[in-house]
Structure 1
Amino acid sequence: MSRYRKMIGMLAVITLAVCLCGGTAFAAGSTGDVAGAIESTWNDASDQIKTVVNNVVFPVIDLILAVFFFAKLGMAYFDYRKHGQFEWTAPAILFACLLFTLTAPSYVWSILGM
């Protein structure tokens, strides 16, 4: 008998959870205009996203690339001292990526149409 009580209890808890979490979501009032709700949310959030990307994301990427560039430049110098030839490929690629990310905030938003 206790097995049936456990099953009924679990069924009641699951039913209660479904009823509490299964509410209807309306987009933009009761009109059902999902595209309009998404556009208005994007218009409200786009300035905040742009600010965060310009002030946090790009500087972090720049810092990481600068550290890697100088570390690779130092390692290439020590390889030059050891083997007599300087390998330019990796430092040149890192430098190009660093220049790209340093100048990206000035043009990336016009490309994306913001």
Structure 2
Amino acid sequence: MVQILKNKKVKVIICLTIVLIMLVLTMKQSYASGDVSSVIQQAWKQMESQIKNIVNNVVFPVIDIILAVFFFAKLAMAYFDYRKQGQFDWTTPAILFACLTFSLIAPNYIWKVL
């Protein structure tokens, strides 16, 4: 028995079997009866202000900071490449700047679109 467990394939099969058994034991069937779309719309109306608040005050600023760091880092790298090779690559900084501009003004109009 000990030599069988030393085989890597057997260990993987045993682990997958255990995971599959755990999945089957913890699954629960759910049935949707009635009007599901009205329930979703009602839940959205109840949570809409909280979701907007979190997205406007947390998600967009985090995205803005990440894009700003990448933009300035890529701009600096492009400048150093320009000093080394004499050719400035505008493509990546321009794309990052466009994405940064888009994410900065997105909270003004994104909720009207949705």
Distance 1:85 1:33, change over 3 A: closer
Give the equivalent residue in structure 1 for 2:54. 52
Give the equivalent residue in structure 2 for 1:8. none
- Identity fraction in percent: 63
SS in 1 for 2:72: helix
Cα distance in 1, alignment partners of residues 35 and 82 from structure 2: 64
Residue type of the alignment partner of 1:90:
T
SS in 2 for 1:58: helix
Confirm whether residue 62 of structure 1 aligns to residue 57 of structure 2: no
Runs of 4 or more above 6 Å deviation: 24-27
Confirm whether residue 37 of structure 1 aligns to residue 39 of structure 2: yes
Cα distance in 2, alignment partners of residues 73 and 26 from structure 1: 53
Give the equivalent residue in structure 2 for 1:80. 82
Deviation by residue 1:6-62 (Cα, 9 ceiling, x = unmatched): xxxxxxxxxxx89xx97x9898xxxx4433322211110111111111001100000
SS in 1 for 2:88: coil
- TM-score calculated relative to the size of structure 1: 0.68
- TM-score calculated relative to the size of structure 2: 0.68
Structure 1 gap ranges (5+): 1-16
Work out the number of aligned pairs and report it.
90
Residue type of the alignment partner of 1:44:
Q
Match of 1:93 among 79, 91, 95: 95
Structure 2 gap ranges (5+): 1-24
Within a 5 Å distance, the mapping from 1:7-22 to structure 2 comes to none
Cα distance in 2, alignment partners of residues 26 and 108 from structure 1: 31
